[in-house]
Amino acid sequence: MEEFVERLKAYMLQVVIALDQLGNTLWPGGWADETISSRSYRMAATSGGWARMRRFVDWMALHIFRQANHCYEAYVSERQRTQEPPELRS
């Protein structure tokens, strides 16, 4: 049963990431393989709107998941391709 729960959590995480990437893609200028969190970190230095989005997403992640610096961590994950299947990582 414990293995099933872990597999379900992993599956649900992938669904949430896919929805996040879809949202980013639908947002003008978004890339299909980037999350809103990563984009918020990447764009925060050049856009006040994205800086506010980054603060909001980081605040939500801290209060819901107890994860500090979520947008930065998402950006690093994108750069290192850790969100991809192991066989696709370079």
> Which residue, among 11, 34, 13, 14, has the nearest Cα to 23 in the 3D structure?
34
pLDDT string in tens for the chain (90-residue length): 899 999 999 999 889 889 999 999 999 999 999 999 999 999 999 999 999 999 999 999 999 989 999 999 999 998 988 877 778 776
**What is residue 87's DSSP assignment?**
G
Distances (CA, A) of 55 to 15, 34, 71, 74: 24, 18, 9, 14
For the chain, the C-alpha Rg in angstroms (whole number) is 14
